[in-house]
Amino acid sequence: MVKKKILDNNALYTIIAILIGFVAGAIVLALAGINPATTYGKLFDSIFGQTKYLVYSVVYGVPLIFAGLGVAFSFRTGVFNIGAEGQFVVGALVSCVLGIKLDLPAVIHVPLCILAAAAAGALWSMIAGVMKVKRGINEVLSFIMLNWIAFYLSNYVVNLKGIKADGKEATVDILESARILFPKEILTATGCKSFNYGIILAVAAAIAIWFIINKTTLGYELRSVGFNRFAATYGGINANAAILKAMAISGAMAGLGGAMQILGNQMRIAQFASQEGYGFQGITVALIAGSNPIGCIISGLFYGAMKYGGQKLSLVGAPKEVLDIIMGTIVIFIALSHILKKLLSGRGK
Residues that bind other proteins (CB under 8 A): 2-3, 215-221, 223-224, 227-228, 230-238, 346-349
For residues 316 and 325, give the distance between their C-alpha atoms in angstroms, rounded to a whole number.
18
CB atoms within 10 A of CB 325: 18
Q: How far is the CB of 224 from other proteins (least distance, A)?
A: 5
φ and ψ of 327, to 5 deg: -65, -40
Q: What is the DSSP track for 10-40?
A: HHHHHHHHHHHHHHHHHHHHHHTT--HHHHH
**Which of 159/214 has CB closer to other proteins?**
214
**Which of 7/200 has CB closer to other proteins?**
7
CB 23 within 8 A of CB 301: no
**Which of 184/230 has CB closer to other proteins?**
230
Grouping H, G, I as helix, E, B as strand and the rest as coil, residue 134 is helix
**Which of 80/220 has CB closer to other proteins?**
220
For residues 65 and 53, give the distance between their C-alpha atoms in angstroms, rounded to a whole number.
18
Burial class (CB in 10 A: 0-12, 13-18, 19+), 232: buried
Q: How far is the CB of 223 from other proteins (least distance, A)?
A: 7
Find the helix packing angle between 293-310 and 278-288, rounded to 10°: 130
Q: How far is the CB of 9 from other proteins (least distance, A)?
A: 13
**Which of 63/219 has CB closer to other proteins?**
219
**Which of 135/349 has CB closer to other proteins?**
349
CB 130 within 8 A of CB 242: no
**Which of 132/223 has CB closer to other proteins?**
223
Phi-psi region for residue 49, left (φ > 0), alpha (ψ -120 to 50) or beta?
A: alpha
Q: How far is the CB of 203 from other proteins (least distance, A)?
A: 21
Q: How far is the CB of 141 from other proteins (least distance, A)?
A: 23
**Which of 168/215 has CB closer to other proteins?**
215
Q: How far is the CB of 3 from other proteins (least distance, A)?
A: 8
Nearest to 253 by CA among 13, 62, 66, 10: 66
Burial class (CB in 10 A: 0-12, 13-18, 19+), 277: middle
For residues 311 and 323, give the distance between their C-alpha atoms in angstroms, rounded to a whole number.
10
Q: How far is the CB of 43 from other proteins (least distance, A)?
A: 38
CB 330 within 8 A of CB 19: no
Q: How far is the CB of 225 from other proteins (least distance, A)?
A: 9
